[in-house]
């Protein structure tokens, strides 16, 4: 039998989705599963986006430009201007989700064996994209005890080698919900300029910041024109995860020329989804005010419940809609599986993402889980009730 590639064998499994068979098994037994494992919001997508699909007059579902609809990119110029980011339509490539933007960015920056520094815990697919490209992820640890603050620059700088090509940040962060402030980003900027590195910034949760905090884009920082690469997506912003429309943007012309070759190789991003994404730009600001208020309420409820459980510690996120909690268990991976396979509370249980999968050094996150507070508070209450009961019943506590 032919062998698969070593790269294929080394591709990491998704910590977010690997427990799906156990969740399906629980549902077959009639158990209600509260899905807190994945960032799939229950917020309705904007009406303007859905209406655009209903009103379309497309008769031939044709290719678009490899960079995406010109009309969409031109309207995005105005969107970014509202956030203090100066981009032209030619600085952008529309991608099939933020995932493809990341894959193209890595393909345009690194050669096999090159290194990318990423604060951990990090979005698990970063490791997958790096593995597919042949790049090496070099993690720098952010500690749960410090609220996942960016590590000291000396820690990052100590990891830089001749093979280092980029620093990758998610801001606000997945899985932690950490929002880096301007001072932290300026320190990263200074180090990147000193060592002539790219800074790849995944900013798909830009709209979701809380407690009066504001988001600073890497493209807002002076001097980063040739070093900054922006990753963006409509998935979370407009609760349109299934649309699979993302964006890759940079002022670096050589980088964008290389990225365009990858974009041409995959032909074009999807047509109907671009139509929806373009229409979504007409979403009123009131939509985001209401959504942020709702997520803030959900966050406060979940974090309050978690930290009230004996032995649980969860820092308060300042952005996105995720939290990482440390549980009083020996192995969170086993606990999450046990919750689905062997436990129910009043006919209900909870699906979470074991956080070890968000670390290069899995043992650091062995007692941690990521929780996505993407359900309404009434359902979150039942989920937290089941989680608390499960922790009390679990036979392998730490």
- Where is the domain boundary, 253, 280, 307? 280
| Mean pLDDT of the 183-205 span | 98
Residues 351, 35: contact at Cβ < 8 Å?
yes
Please state the φ and ψ torsions of residue 120, each to the nearest 5 degrees.
-115, 150
Query: What is the reported pLDDT for 10?
Result: 86
Q: What are residue 351's DSSP bridge partners?
A: 35
Rounded Cα gap, residues 40 and 236, in angstroms: 8
The answer to whether residue 1 sits within a structural domain is no
| Mean pLDDT of the 184-201 span | 98
Query: What is the reported pLDDT for 98?
Result: 97
The answer to whether residue 223 sits within a structural domain is yes
- Where is the domain boundary, 228, 252, 280? 280
Our count of domains for the chain comes to 2
Task: Count CB-CB contacts under 10 A for residue 327.
Answer: 26
Q: Are residues 276 and 156 in the same domain?
A: yes
pTM: 0.95
What CA dihedral angle connects 371, 377, 379 and 384, to 10 degrees?
50
Query: What is the reported pLDDT for 180?
Result: 97
The answer to whether residue 324 sits within a structural domain is yes
Q: Are residues 74 and 121 in the same domain?
A: yes
Q: Are residues 349 and 387 in the same domain?
A: yes
Q: Residue 16: pLDDT above 80?
A: no
Q: What are residue 325's DSSP bridge partners?
A: 369
Q: Are residues 30 and 73 in the same domain?
A: no
Q: Are residues 27 and 62 in the same domain?
A: no
Query: What is the reported pLDDT for 188?
Result: 98
- Which two structure tokens, joined as six digits, stand for 311? 């032995």
Task: Pick the more confident residue, 18 or 329.
Answer: 329
Mean pLDDT check: name the lowest of 2-11, 62-71, 89-98, 186-195.
Answer: 2-11
Q: Which residues contact 106 (CB under 8 A, 6 or more apart)?
A: 116, 129, 130, 133, 135
Query: What is the reported pLDDT for 8?
Result: 86
| Mean pLDDT of the 112-129 span | 96
Q: What are residue 350's DSSP bridge partners?
A: 34
Q: Are residues 209 and 103 in the same domain?
A: yes
| Mean pLDDT of the 115-131 span | 96
- Which two structure tokens, joined as six digits, stand for 299? 């966050």
Rounded Cα gap, residues 303 and 384, in angstroms: 10
DSSP notation for 250-311: -S-HHHHHHHHHHHHHT----HHHHHHHHHHTT--HHHHHHHHHHHHHHHHHHHHHHHHSTT
The answer to whether residue 398 sits within a structural domain is no
Host domain of residue 367: 6-44+286-393
Q: Residue 15: pLDDT above 80?
A: no
Q: Are residues 258 and 330 in the same domain?
A: no
pLDDT band at 111 (very low <50, low <70, confident <90, very high): very high
From residue 358, give the alpha-carbon distance in Å to each of 107, 125, 139, 363, 364.
22, 9, 11, 11, 10
Q: What is the CATH number of the domain that holds 382?
A: 3.90.1150.10
Q: Are residues 12 and 151 in the same domain?
A: no
| Mean pLDDT of the 233-251 span | 97
pLDDT band at 7 (very low <50, low <70, confident <90, very high): confident
Residues in the chain: 398
Query: What is the reported pLDDT for 256?
Result: 98
Q: Helix or strand or coil: residue 153?
A: helix
- Mean pLDDT in the chain? 96
Task: Report pLDDT digits (tens) over 210-232.
Answer: 999 999 999 999 999 999 999 99
Rounded Cα gap, residues 214 and 127, in angstroms: 28
The answer to whether residue 100 sits within a structural domain is yes
Task: Report pLDDT digits (tens) over 131-177.
Answer: 999 999 999 999 999 999 999 999 999 999 999 999 999 999 999 99
Q: Are residues 253 and 167 in the same domain?
A: yes
Query: What is the reported pLDDT for 118?
Result: 98
- Where is the domain boundary, 280, 311, 327? 280
């Amino acid at each position: 039998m032919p062998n698969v590639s070593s790269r294929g064998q080394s591709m990491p499994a998704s910590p977010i989705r690997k427990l799906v068979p156990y969740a399906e098994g629980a549902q077959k037994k009639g158990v209600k599963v509260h899905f807190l494992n994945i960032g799939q919001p229950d917020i309705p997508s904007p009406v303007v986006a859905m209406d655009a699909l209903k009103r379309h007059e497309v008769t031939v579902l044709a290719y678009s430009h490899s960079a995406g609809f010109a009309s969409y990119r031109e309207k995005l110029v105005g969107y970014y201007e509202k956030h203090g980011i100066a981009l032209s339509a030619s600085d952008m490539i529309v991608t099939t989700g933020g995932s493809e933007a990341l894959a193209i960015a890595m393909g345009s920056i690194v050669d096999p064996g090159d290194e990318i520094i990423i604060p951990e815990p990090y979005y698990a697919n970063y490791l997958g994209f790096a593995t597919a490209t042949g790049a090496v992820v070099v993690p720098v640890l952010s500690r749960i005890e410090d609220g996942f603050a960016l590590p000291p620059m000396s820690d990052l700088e100590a990891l830089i080698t001749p093979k280092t090509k980029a620093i990758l940040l998610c801001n606000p962060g997945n899985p932690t919900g950490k929002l880096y402030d301007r001072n932290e980003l300026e320190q990263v900027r200074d180090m990147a300029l000193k060592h002539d590195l790219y800074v790849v910034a995944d900013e798909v949760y830009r709209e979701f910041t809380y407690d009066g905090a504001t988001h600073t884009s890497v493209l807002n920082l002076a001097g980063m024109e040739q070093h900054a690469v922006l990753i963006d997506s409509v998935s979370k912003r407009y609760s349109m995860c299934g649309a699979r429309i993302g964006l890759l943007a940079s002022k670096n012309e050589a980088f964008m020329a290389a990225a365009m070759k990858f974009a041409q190789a995959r032909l074009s991003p999807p047509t109907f989804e671009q139509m929806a994404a373009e229409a979504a730009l007409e979403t009123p600001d009131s939509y985001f005010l209401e959504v942020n208020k709702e997520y803030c309420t959900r966050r406060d409820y979940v974090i309050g419940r978690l930290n009230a459980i004996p032995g649980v510690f969860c820092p308060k996120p300042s952005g996105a809609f995720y939290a990482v909690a440390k549980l009083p268990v020996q192995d969170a991976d086993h606990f999450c599986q046990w919750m689905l396979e062997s436990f129910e509370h009043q006919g209900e249980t909870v699906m979470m993402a074991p956080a070890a999968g968000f670390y290069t050094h899995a043992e650091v996150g062995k007692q941690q889980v990521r929780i996505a507070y993407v359900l309404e508070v009434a359902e979150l209450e039942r989920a937290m009730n089941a989680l608390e009961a499960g922790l009390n019943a679990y036979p392998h506590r730490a």
